[in-house]
Structure 1
Amino acid sequence: MLNQISRNRLPLLSLRAFEAVARHQSVSNAAAELCVTPGAVSQQVKQLEELVGVHLLRRKGRTVELTDAGQVLRPALTQAFQTIELTLAAIARGPRHNTLKLCLLPTLAEKWLVPRLSRFHGAHPDCDIQLMTSFRDIRFEAEDVDMASFMGKEVPAGLEGIRLFDDAFQPVCSPAFLRDTCSLATPADLSRATLLHSVRRIDDWQRWLDSAGMAKLEPKRSLSFENSSLAIQGAIDGLGVAIVQRVYVAELIKVGVLVAPFDLVARSDIGYYLVWSTTRAATPAFRAFLQWIRQEVQDSTA
């Protein structure tokens, strides 16, 4: 079995083949990425399944889907390969005075930073931004990343950072949903609605309902998404009521794309931070971005 295999005997080719298939949900697309035949990829995955003693994939027409075991293995492999890739890039990188590399939570990047970036580029046209997204913690000592997002009560030891905003969340839905599908006069009416949420924030609905005095409310159904950005889109599309960070939807509420049916906002003591290493030399791009982001945070909380 796999737990009896030492590190120097790990089936790296099979693991790489499975990760590519799982990411593409296609044997042929994985083969194209790895520059081998689909048959070779299938054989590598089969060898891995024989080694661990369980099925990792099941075929569904021309595509494949992950089994429960495959769902467990895929994120671990993707993170491991991404770490290797970033570490090799960090070793090979040369001086970068005008380029800043950021790695942020997906919804933080899409809903908070990207809408603001035009202001930074307008003020600093010579600075380049490379933006990546990930849910994992960044190891600055090994990775080619200048700044990263962090959620917690305070900045971790060995890092510096700036608090972007507090953890404050509330329900939102589309005006059409509120008008045509489910009238929400009181929090109790949520029992007739589909409640949307991110799987990364599975407790947010319960914490909000606790604050609303509806701890035992049972919704009609619930729908979960990989991240809050997808939950927000689900609300826009009228799938139900999403529980999301206020800052992510403030502009959408302002322009009428979404509405907040209740004024109650639930909060926690954690914050969203932008952090960086205390040992890495600050480039001109780093200093310019830090000064700009401090001003953005100040303006948004004024």
Structure 2
Amino acid sequence: MRPRLPLNALRAFESSARHLSFTRAALELNVTQAAVSQQVRSLEDRLGATLFKRLPRGLAITDEGRALLPVLTDAFGRIENVLKQFEGGHFHEVLTVGVVGTFAVGWLMPRLKRFREQHPFVELRLLTNNNLVDLAAEGLDVAIRFGDGVWPATHNVLLLDAPLNVLCTPRIAKRLAVPSDLAREILLRSYRADEWDKWFEAAGLEPWPVNGPVFDSSRLMVEAAVQSAGIALAPPRMFVRELQTGLLACPFDTEVKTGSYWLTWLKSRRMSPAMQVFRNWILDEAGNEAAYRGGDDS
């Protein structure tokens, strides 16, 4: 069995190959030039291969050296990145979360301080989206999505139901005595074309054509409603702050469920400690909210 190669010799070669100089490598590694040269010579002897051509002015890397260099550079880089995550004797793990913008602002953001206090050694990186997400391509550890939870490539755990209802300014709400009064108003639409039809049916109305502006984000659509641009159909539980401060009103009790929020991660991905911590935390938060409200909103 081939003996293990010494780490110092590998480090000496990698640094020398990047600088094409034993002298510069010695400065980087804080050793003498002779020590670097000796380490590289020892590595060549063990491998039975010449890694450098010694020139009057510097070094020229051989084909064998070129084959070895990228592997070592990647390995040392990964080791360095992991070591950087240690601080104060604790391991800091980065967790990249993709999240629907409406959920991020309306539900997750008010709770992030609590997560940080409970799990200070998990560094969250949040990337918002409009529900179009590719976990593998985007380098996401987990994603929070809206829909029916049927995504075959991922594990999908229900977080919250989010039924839709009418949201508008209090001034507009005063002229809405019954649902049919909506026929005289500008109704804002999401990219899901059938949402208003489903709400009309739940309210006992015959659907009619809705011609208001279309938005690719519920957050943006509701902001338009706050600015009196029309009436939105969105999940009230994602806009609690606006409702509590009087920026918005919810004039009717009728709700319609078109989807829920789900925590998802790739089936091909083994859960890291940070992923497990985040999963447990967010499920506890969602469960606590459901208990406070007296159950699910379905």
Q: Give the alignment's TM-score, normalised by structure 1.
A: 0.61
Alignment correspondent of 1:276: 265
Note the C-alpha offset of 1:149. 2.4
Q: 1:161 to 1:223 in 2, by over 3 A?
A: same
3-state DSSP class of the match of 1:129? Answer: strand
- Residue number in structure 2 paired with 1:227: 217
1:128 paired to 2:123 = yes
Deviation string, structure 1 residues 173-213 (Cα, Å, up to 9, x no partner): 1113334xxx00011111111111222x2211111011112
Cα separation, 2, equivalents of 1:127 and 1:252: 30
Aligned pairs for 1:80-95 (under 5 A) are: none
Larger Cα-atom Rg: 2
C-alpha separation in 2, matches of 1:156 and 1:131: 21
Aligned to 1:166: 161
What SS does structure 1 have at the residue aligned with 2:220?
helix
1:186 counterpart (172, 178, 184): 178
% identity of equivalent residues: 31
Equivalence for 1:295: 284
Q: Distance in 2 between matches of 1:218 and 1:138?
A: 31
CA RMSD of aligned residues (A): 2.4
Contact 2:225–2:232 (8 Å) recurs in 1: yes
Residue 195 of structure 1 is aligned with which of 183, 187, 193? Answer: 187
Query: Distance in 1 between the 2:125 and 2:286 partners?
Result: 21
The match for 1:149 among 144, 156, 162 is 144
SS in 1 for 2:270: coil
* Alpha-carbon distance in structure 2 between the residues aligned to 1:228 and 1:115: 18
TM-score computed with the length of structure 2 as normaliser: 0.62
Pairing 1:3-152 to 2, within 5 Å after superposition: 98-135=93-130, 137-152=132-147
Which residue is 1:238 aligned to? Answer: 228
Distance change >3 Å, CA 173–CA 143, structure 1 → 2: closer
1:263 matches 2:253: yes
Question: Per-residue deviation at 1:137?
Answer: 4.7
Q: Could you tell which deviates more after superposition, 96-105 or 122-131?
A: 96-105
Q: How many Å apart are 1:169 and its aligned residue?
A: 0.3
- Post-superposition CA distance 1:76-102 (Å, at most 9, x none): xxxxxxxxxxxxxxxx97657511101
Q: Which structure 1 residue ranges, 4+ long, deviate > 6 Å from structure 2?
A: none
- Contact 1:198/1:227 (8 A) holds in 2: yes
2:277 is matched by which residue type in structure 1?
A
Structure 2 regions of 5+ residues with no counterpart? Answer: 1-76, 86-91, 292-298
Structure 1 counterpart of 2:243, one-letter code: I
CA contact (8 A) 1:104 1:132 kept: yes
> For the structure 1 residues 209 and 280, does the alpha-carbon distance in structure 2 shift closer, same or farther, using more than 3 Å as the test?
same
Consecutive unaligned residues in structure 1, runs of 5 or more: 1-91
The alignment of Structure 1 onto Structure 2 pairs a total of residues equal to 205
**One-letter amino acid matched to 2:284:** Q
8 Å CA contact 1:197, 1:244 repeated in 2? no
User: Matched residues in 1 for 2:231 and 2:142: separation?
Assistant: 33
Native 8 Å contact 2:131 2:145 kept in 1: no
CA distance in 2, matches of 1:171, 1:136: 22
| Shift, 1:118, TM fit | 1.5
CA distance in 2, matches of 1:122, 1:102: 18
The match for 1:61 is none
